[in-house]
Amino acid sequence: MALMLILDVLVIVSSLTAFLAIRDYQIRGGLPYPPGPQPLPFIGNLFEIPKEFSWLTFTQFSKKYGMSRSLLWVHLTEQMTGEIMSFHVFGQVIVVLNSIKSTKDLLDRRGDIYSDRPVIPIIDMYVFSCSTFS
């Protein structure tokens, strides 16, 4: 009896894990997230995101996790700090931009791709109803 219960729980957990992995893959379109610290299950990087002096911590993290190598990485031993990192918190991905160059590139030049807001139906209903009666 206990063995059947353990098998049932194992099947449910593995099915849920597979479902979440497939959904995450589909949302990203198969592309990997930027580098970042390894997240813990369920809570992600909740305890690694600083509450105060975040710019200092993100600079340290960029040296550790956001590494990018040049094309001559065999000959060069020094690595450059990465400009983009990602953190995972409760299933949400937080992307940190560490340089002015990457910020301008992503938000100014390609801002129409990334600048959307969630739709809040109550606001649409309120604005529609107020404009109808005025």
Locate 123 and state its tokens.
Answer: 């606001």
Which position has the higher pLDDT, 134 or 29? Answer: 29
Is there a single domain that holds both residue 20 and residue 79?
A: no
What length is written for the chain? Answer: 134
Q: How far apart are CA 79 and CA 29, in angstroms?
A: 29
pLDDT value at 51 more than 70: yes
Is there a single domain that holds both residue 21 and residue 43?
A: no
Q: How far apart are CA 121 and CA 104, in angstroms?
A: 32
Which position has the higher pLDDT, 93 or 82? Answer: 93
Bridge partners (DSSP) listed for residue 130: none
Is the pTM value of this prediction over 0.95?
no
Domain that holds residue 116: 33-133
Is there a single domain that holds both residue 81 and residue 63?
A: yes
Is there a single domain that holds both residue 88 and residue 40?
A: yes
Is there a single domain that holds both residue 26 and residue 42?
A: no
Is there a single domain that holds both residue 44 and residue 27?
A: no
Number of domains in the chain: 2
pLDDT category of residue 11 using cuts at 50, 70 and 90? very high
Is there a single domain that holds both residue 39 and residue 100?
A: yes
